[in-house]
Amino acid sequence: MDATPINAHSGTPGEPIRANYLNVNYGLKSWLLTTDHKRIGILYLISITIFFALGGIFAALIRLELMTPEGDVVSSEMYNKLFTMHGVAMIFFFLIPSIPAVFGNFLIPMMIGARDVAFPRLNLMSWYIYSIGGVFTFAAMALGGVDTGWTFYAPYSSTYSNSNVALTAVGIFILGFSSILTGLNFIVTIHKMRAPGLTWFRLPLFVWAHYATSLIQILGTPVVAISIVLVALERLLKLGIFDPKLGGDPLLFQHLFWFYSHPAVYIMILPSMGVVSEVIACFSRKRVFGYPFIAFSSLAIAVLGFLVWGHHMFTSGQSVYAGMIFSVLTMLVAIPSAVKVFNWTATLYKGSVSYQAPMLYALGFIGLFTIGGLTGLFLATLATDVHLHDTYFVVAHFHYIMVGGAIMGYMAAMHFWWPKMTGRLYPEGWAKFAALVIFVGFNLTFFPQFVLGYLGMPRRYHVYPPEFQVLNVMSTAGASILAVGYIIPLIYLLWSLKYGPAAGANPWQAKGLEWTTPSPPPPHNFERTPVVTEEAYAYESKPYPEEAEVV
Amino acid sequence: MDQGIPLFPEAASTMAGKVDALYFFLVAVAVFFAALIFISLTVFALKYRRRSETEVPPSIHGSTPLEIAWSVIPLGLVMIMFAWGAKLYFDAYNEVPPDAEEVYVVGKQWMWHIQHANGRREINELHVPVGRPIKLIMASEDVIHSFYIPAFRLKKDVVPGRYATIWFQATKPGRYHLFCAEYCGTGHSKMKGWVTVMEPAEYQAWLSGGVVGESMEAAGERLFNQLGCNTCHRADGTGRGPSLVGVFGKPVRLLSGETVIADEAYIRESILNPNAKIVAGYPSPTIMSTYQGQISERGILQIIAYLKSLSKEERSQ
């Protein structure tokens, strides 16, 4: 994942070199001033990988500290900064941009048969805004860090914390605009730039998922930007907004924060669901079961996701009747999620199932997302949430969704479209091995935390009672396996850039317009505008296999 | 570490068993659906594995009856979860038994300060009798804390600027963890202690032992006089402010025409922000000055205890 151009010669030796988006021009300037959605996707890939590595290092230090009940690796101040910066790096700078900014950018124009997104220069600007936000946040970390938790609860964040809250707030505020502009770009692109014949119900489900995600990005992100500005104003100018000593209300912050940050969960998970729909269909060689139900369940999740923020506040002192409303609405969100899982499972029925690496990640996603979703019911149920709120049960639940779900989907996407993006195949054996290591490491890390949570271990604890140690040691052991699982793909993917065999246009014999063009794609994606005459995933429609280019 | 891996917490309150029953129902539903998905995935993935590179599986678009089934059945189940959970939540947070003994809790970075009605104080320790309902009235001096007793399956955030109340009835003598569950800064993980549940007789002995200073009421009365509240709020109603005898817990008519119940939150607000709710018949703006910054959360709780005692006397007369 290096910014220097890759030798993208993808044909067999002796064949003339074909122009593609990687070799069309060279040099740093050609990348930093590019308006090609594919190159912008690669720029994002490099940026978010840096933040993923940073967040991973913070996580490693957290798990190291928690091996023993005493505080012996880092001080309490440092521990609090570590979990805060882990959350900030992973959520704002990795998970929220991850699939949309990398794969959405790269693939949506290709999937709909367009040359680029609707606003290519705005797209580049989004990446610059992301980077400026990243520089501010990185500066806040380097200058001593921030210790409020990624949730920035007032009045701790606005009055009491002595860390770099304002600088971090500025970074996240700037970052938000990148997300808004990307969402805007996708919505316009999907509305206006579909190829002839590509009706809404012929769109790949990946595109539907990104459409739903973009709606949330546009409608939700301004609210978190406002609440972060208000924290900064209270901190710098002593305006009374959240701190009761200044006449403010701490719960107002929670309402504003979760109004965005709960839907943000769906920003992180919906694109992964889109990936899984693509991968499951391809490796079952079958259309996705219940296409309209999966498509509309994405929209249902996006809409209902805006109405459930109060389930983060069941113990906060909000009215018990408000709690009941938020509980029942949260229960409703479970239904479209369940519908998706059932439909994916049914897709395998009577399919032709093969187990390449992307499929292993997609199956891993379904399993882990199922556990994450079902444990969400424990937190949506009022009386059990009173016990489980702010314990390790919550930590385990959202890591099953965010890591077991969102990152598994991200890894599935990486392995599915890597040959398309680079023109190279990675070593399949290593990829399967890494998927297995990640699956085992993940479960060992986070399953014990469900047990810890019901036992009553609060989250964000630097020191803890000794009876919780065994489960914490299991979790730390799992985390080290997980770390290995993430490092292996980094190595073989980089290796494949130089040594991987040429992929050909369609190594998985997949359906979808992105597979009809060579790998890596030419600068303008298609030689001529494709005309679509069939539904997505019509794996039965043509005698198979049909490849645009022989490997 | 010597007793192996703990898997389940102790249950020591009337609520704990009820929450556990609901928890087991949730576990059963979760295990059933997880197993359904895992087994289906495994069976389908093996049974329909690709046998030849050229095979073309049948085209299946979907099934509306199946979609309805797997929407409606889960919907029914989650509604049971909702109703069951809501019932217990309401009982835990709202249905305080009227005879509950009141204990006052103040959270501050990073300790729990607890005071019993008779004046006995403790820090990061809470002693309670078995078999009697206890009501906690909690306030925070600084940031948000959360009072959490896992063995009672009970937690409530203590948000500055407002009172949080919870109640419980312990069922089993013993020592149980008390945690701060809401992140509150550097010493958050050290803001913890113990709840000691005792037999009633033992508890009575404990309560009257140790250094017992003034009772909450007596301390509140002293503060009431010391801060000069008594010069205007005279008992006979002839002062410049309304008499506070017999007011607590009763409806109060306001200048605005509204009626509010004179509860803990109302008293606290009137001390810190006297103009917020002026009693009907008194001038607006009020002549009373704010006591913000002159009285601690603990002091306010003591004055509240004193005003409550004025209402009890009135009732018994």
pLDDT digits (tens, 9 = 90+) for A239-268: 889 998 888 999 999 999 999 899 999 999
Measured from the Cβ of residue B49, the count of other Cβ atoms closer than 10 Å reads: 13
Identify the pLDDT of residue B4: 67
The alpha carbon of residue B190 is apart from the nearest alpha carbon of chain A, in Å, by 7
Task: Establish whether the linkage from the previous residue to A309 is cis, with ω within 30° of 0.
Answer: no
The alpha carbon of residue A537 is apart from the nearest alpha carbon of chain B, in Å, by 10
The alpha carbon of residue B222 is apart from the nearest alpha carbon of chain A, in Å, by 25
Identify the pLDDT of residue A16: 63
Q: Are the C-beta atoms of A401 and A452 separated by less than 8 Å?
A: no
Q: Is the pLDDT of residue B217 over 60?
A: yes
Number of residues in chain A: 551
Measured from the Cβ of residue A534, the count of other Cβ atoms closer than 10 Å reads: 11
Q: Which residues contact A441 (CB under 8 A, 6 or more apart)?
A: A478, A479, A480, A481, A482, A483, A484, A485
Closest CA to A515 of A278, A212, A190, A271: A278
pLDDT band at A479 (very low <50, low <70, confident <90, very high): very high
- Sort out which chain A residues have CB atoms less than 8 A from B19's CB and list them: 383-384, 386-387
Q: What is the mean pLDDT of residues A186-207?
A: 96
Six token digits for residue A134: 């990243």
- What percent of chain B is predicted at pLDDT more than 70? 97
pLDDT band at B209 (very low <50, low <70, confident <90, very high): confident
* Nearest chain B alpha carbon to A462: B189
- In B85-114, the residues whose Cβ lies within 8 Å of chain A are 85-90, 92-94, 109
Closest CA to A528 of A544, A542, A516: A516
Considering only CB atoms, B50 lies closest to which of A353, A470, A545, namely A353
Measured from the Cβ of residue A194, the count of other Cβ atoms closer than 10 Å reads: 19
Six token digits for residue B236: 């006979």
Q: Output the CATH code of domain B216-316.
A: 1.10.760.10
Q: Does the ipTM exceed 0.95?
A: no
Task: Establish whether the linkage from the previous residue to A155 is cis, with ω within 30° of 0.
Answer: yes
Q: What is the mean pLDDT of residues A516-533?
A: 92
SS3 label, residue A517: coil
Considering only CB atoms, B37 lies closest to which of A161, A290, A341, namely A341
The alpha carbon of residue B166 is apart from the nearest alpha carbon of chain A, in Å, by 10
Q: Is the pLDDT of residue A10 over 50?
A: no
Among A377, A388, A457, A471, pick the best mutation site for testing chain B contact (most B Cβ within 10 A): A377
Identify the pLDDT of residue A1: 39
CA atoms within 13 A on the CB side of A506: 17
Identify the pLDDT of residue B315: 55
CA-CA distance, A463 to A492, in Å (whole number)?
Answer: 38
Task: Read off φ and ψ for residue B50, nearest 5 degrees.
Answer: -70, 125
Q: Is the pLDDT of residue A549 over 80?
A: no
Higher local confidence (pLDDT), B236 or A97? A97
SS3 of A369-393: the string is: HHHHHHHHHHHHCHHHHHHHCCEHH
CA-CA distance, A502 to A12, in Å (whole number)?
Answer: 8
- In B11-30, the residues whose Cβ lies within 8 Å of chain A are 18-19, 22-23, 26, 29-30
- In B143-182, the residues whose Cβ lies within 8 Å of chain A are 143-144, 146, 148, 150-151, 153-157, 159-162, 164, 177, 179-182
CA-CA distance, B46 to B128, in Å (whole number)?
Answer: 59
Measured from the Cβ of residue B131, the count of other Cβ atoms closer than 10 Å reads: 14
Domain B1-42+63-212 has CATH 1.10.533.10: no
Instruction: Identify the weakest region by mean pLDDT among A445-449, B100-104, B209-213.
Output: B209-213
Six token digits for residue A375: 């444990």
Sign of CA dihedral A330, A333, A339, A344: negative
Identify the pLDDT of residue A5: 41
Q: Which residue type occupies A406?
A: A
CA-CA distance, A472 to A449, in Å (whole number)?
Answer: 8
Tokens 């949080």, located at residue? B164
SS3 label, residue A110: helix
Six token digits for residue B89: 């939540």
Chain A interface includes B57 (CB < 8 A): yes
Instruction: Identify the weakest region by mean pLDDT among A101-110, A462-471, B5-14, B285-294.
Output: B285-294
Q: Which residues contact B275 (CB under 8 A, 6 or more apart)?
A: B284, B285, B286
Q: Alpha carbon of A337 to those of A157, A344, B70, B206: distances in Å?
A: 34, 11, 11, 54
Measured from the Cβ of residue A276, the count of other Cβ atoms closer than 10 Å reads: 33
CA-CA distance, B41 to A348, in Å (whole number)?
Answer: 7
Q: Which residue type occupies B41?
A: L
Q: Which residues contact A33 (CB under 8 A, 6 or more apart)?
A: A124
Query: Which ranges constitute the DSSP H helices of A238-356?
Result: 250-284, 291-304, 320-348
Sign of CA dihedral A479, A482, A484, A490: negative
Q: Alpha carbon of A230 to those of A219, A225, B134: distances in Å?
A: 18, 9, 39
Q: Are the C-beta atoms of B279 and B306 separated by less than 8 Å?
A: no
- Sort out which chain B residues have CB atoms less than 8 A from A545's CB and list them: 53-54
pLDDT band at A442 (very low <50, low <70, confident <90, very high): very high
Measured from the Cβ of residue B185, the count of other Cβ atoms closer than 10 Å reads: 20
Domain boundaries, chain B: 1-42+63-212, 216-316
Higher local confidence (pLDDT), A541 or B125? B125
CA-CA distance, A467 to A455, in Å (whole number)?
Answer: 10
Measured from the Cβ of residue A538, the count of other Cβ atoms closer than 10 Å reads: 13
**Which residues does residue B133 pair with via DSSP β-bridges, in sequence order?**
B169
Considering only CB atoms, B67 lies closest to which of A339, A543, A545, namely A339
Tokens 């200073």, located at residue? B213
CA-CA distance, A548 to A226, in Å (whole number)?
Answer: 50
Query: All domains of chain A, ordered by start, with CATH?
Result: 37-516 (1.20.210.10)
β-strands B174-180, B164-169 pairing: unpaired
Q: How many helices, marked H, and strands, marked E, lie in chain B?
A: 7, 12
Q: What is the DSSP string of B270-313?
A: HHH-TTSSPBTTS-SS-SPPP-TTTS-HHHHHHHHHHHHHHHHH
The alpha carbon of residue A313 is apart from the nearest alpha carbon of chain B, in Å, by 9
pLDDT band at A546 (very low <50, low <70, confident <90, very high): very low
